[in-house]
C-alpha cells in the first residue's frame, strides 16, 4: 500500500522526445529552422488581422457612401460627409481635382478620357494598398513546407550517422533524430496551412472590395461628365404618392 502511494507521488519522468529536447539535439540548424518558421507564423497572423481591419474599414465606408453620398447636392458637399483619408474620399477628391485640371490642358483631351484615366489611377492605388502583405503570405505558404523539410532531412541524416556509428539500428539511437525530423515536418505544415488559407480569404475579400470601388468609380465618372445629371438609381429620392382627387359633391 505504502509502495503504491509512494509510486503515485513520485514525479513523472521528463519526456526525452519533446520539442525542446528535439531542438537541443538538432543544434544550430534545428534552432535556425524553428526560429524562421516562428517568424513566418507571427508575420502571417499579423498581416491577417491588420488586413482584416483595413478591409472592414473600406467595406464600412462603402455602406456609408451608398447611404449618404449620392444624396448630397454637389460632389464637394458629398465629399465633406465622407471619412477623412477614406478610400472613397480619395477617389472623389481625385475626380474633382481632375475635373478642375482639365480646363488647364493646352493639348485638347476629351473630358471623359482624362477623368477616366485619373479615376482609374486612383482606384489602382487603393487596390495596390489593399494587396500589400499578401505576397508575404503567398511566400510563406509556398516555402515553409520546404524549410520544415530541410530540418527533416537533417534529422534523418543525423539518425543515419548514429546507426552507422552504433553498427545497428537501435531504437534508442535513432528515436531522437527521427522525432526531430517529424517535428520539423509538422512545424512546416502548421505554418504553411494558415498562410495559404489567409491568402485566399484576403484575396477574395479584396476582389469584392475592388468590384465595389469600380462600381463607385463608374458612377462618379458618369456624374462628372454629365455635370451631375446622371446619378445611380439607388440615390433617387423616393417619390411621394400622388394625392387622390377629392370626391365630387353629390347632388341632393
The most confident of the ranges 137-141, 164-168, 181-185 is 137-141
The parent domain of residue 142 ranges over: 17-230
Question: Angle at the Cα of 213 (from 208 to 216), degrees rounded to 5?
Answer: 130
Give domain status of residue 240, yes or no.
Answer: no
pTM value is: 0.75
* Residue 216: closest CA among 100, 103, 80, 62: 62
Q: What is the pLDDT of residues 176-188, one digit of tens each?
A: 666 677 788 888 8
Q: Which of these, 92, 149, 99, lies nearest to 122 by C-alpha position? A: 92
Neighbours of 175 (CB within 10 A): 14
Q: b/e for 93-114, b at 16 or more Cβ within 10 A?
A: ebbbebbeebeeeeeeeeeeeb
Residue 37, in any domain of the structure: yes
Domain count, the chain: 1
d(CA 133, CA 44): 9
Helix (H) or strand (E) holding 145: helix 134-166
pLDDT in tens, 59-95: 988 888 887 888 887 778 888 888 888 888 888 888 8
Angstrom distance (rounded) from CA 188 to CA 147: 7
The answer to whether residue 251 is domain-embedded is no
In a domain, 77, yes or no: yes
Amino acid at each position: 500500500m505504502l509502495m503504491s502511494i509512494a509510486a503515485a507521488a513520485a514525479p513523472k519522468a521528463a519526456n526525452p522526445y519533446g520539442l525542446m529536447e528535439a531542438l537541443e539535439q538538432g543544434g544550430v540548424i534545428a534552432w535556425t529552422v524553428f526560429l524562421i518558421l516562428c517568424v513566418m507564423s507571427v508575420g502571417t497572423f499579423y498581416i491577417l488581422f491588420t488586413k482584416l481591419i483595413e478591409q472592414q474599414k473600406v467595406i464600412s465606408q462603402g455602406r456609408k457612401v451608398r447611404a449618404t453620398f449620392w444624396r448630397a447636392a454637389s460632389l464637394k458637399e458629398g465629399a465633406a460627409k465622407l471619412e477623412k483619408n477614406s478610400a472613397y474620399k480619395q477617389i472623389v477628391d481625385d475626380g474633382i481635382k481632375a475635373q478642375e485640371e482639365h480646363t488647364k490642358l493646352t493639348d485638347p483631351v476629351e473630358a471623359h478620357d482624362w477623368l477616366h484615366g485619373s479615376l482609374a489611377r486612383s482606384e489602382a492605388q487603393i487596390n495596390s494598398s489593399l494587396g500589400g502583405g499578401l505576397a508575404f503570405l503567398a511566400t510563406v505558404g509556398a516555402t515553409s513546407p520546404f524549410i520544415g523539410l530541410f530540418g527533416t532531412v537533417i534529422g534523418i541524416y543525423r539518425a543515419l550517422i548514429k546507426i552507422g556509428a552504433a553498427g545497428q539500428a537501435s531504437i534508442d539511437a535513432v528515436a531522437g533524430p527521427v522525432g526531430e525530423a517529424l517535428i520539423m515536418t509538422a512545424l512546416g505544415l502548421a505554418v504553411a496551412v494558415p498562410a495559404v488559407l489567409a491568402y485566399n480569404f484576403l484575396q477574395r475579400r479584396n476582389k469584392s472590395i475592388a468590384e465595389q470601388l469600380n462600381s463607385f468609380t463608374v458612377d462618379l465618372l458618369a456624374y462628372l461628365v454629365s455635370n451631375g445629371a446622371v446619378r445611380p438609381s439607388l440615390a433617387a429620392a423616393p417619390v411621394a404618392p400622388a394625392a387622390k382627387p377629392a370626391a365630387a359633391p353629390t347632388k341632393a
